[in-house]
Amino acid sequence: MNWINSNPCWKKIKDAGFGIACSEFGTLQLAKELSIPFTAGKEFNIFNAFTASTLYKAGAYRSTLSSELNLSEIKKYL
């Protein structure tokens, strides 16, 4: 489906150079199909480097770690 033509909002986002925050795989896939930069939100429950790496390889330019991690766990990713 051609999402750009079906909803002019997506075209405006893409043309303006904005990115979108994805909270589930459907939005992530849409961003990839439209070549819109995206971030992976905390809803992906990123608890480890494998998940962060997988989302990065999928195209996420930024990821938000799970809010359930404590400071010592977060420091592992810095």
**Residue count of the chain:** 78
pLDDT band for position 76 (cuts 50, 70, 90): confident
- What span, in angstroms and rounded, lies between the C-alpha atoms of 25 and 43? 10
**pLDDT tens profile 30-66:** 899 889 999 999 999 999 889 999 999 999 999 999 9
pLDDT band for position 8 (cuts 50, 70, 90): confident
CA-based radius of gyration for the chain: 14
CB-based contact 42:69 (threshold 8 Å): no
Q: The pTM is what?
A: 0.77
Phi-psi region of 35 (alpha: psi -120 to 50; beta: other; left: phi over 0): left
Q: Is residue 2 predicted with pLDDT exceeding 80? A: no
Token duo for residue 3: 């999402």
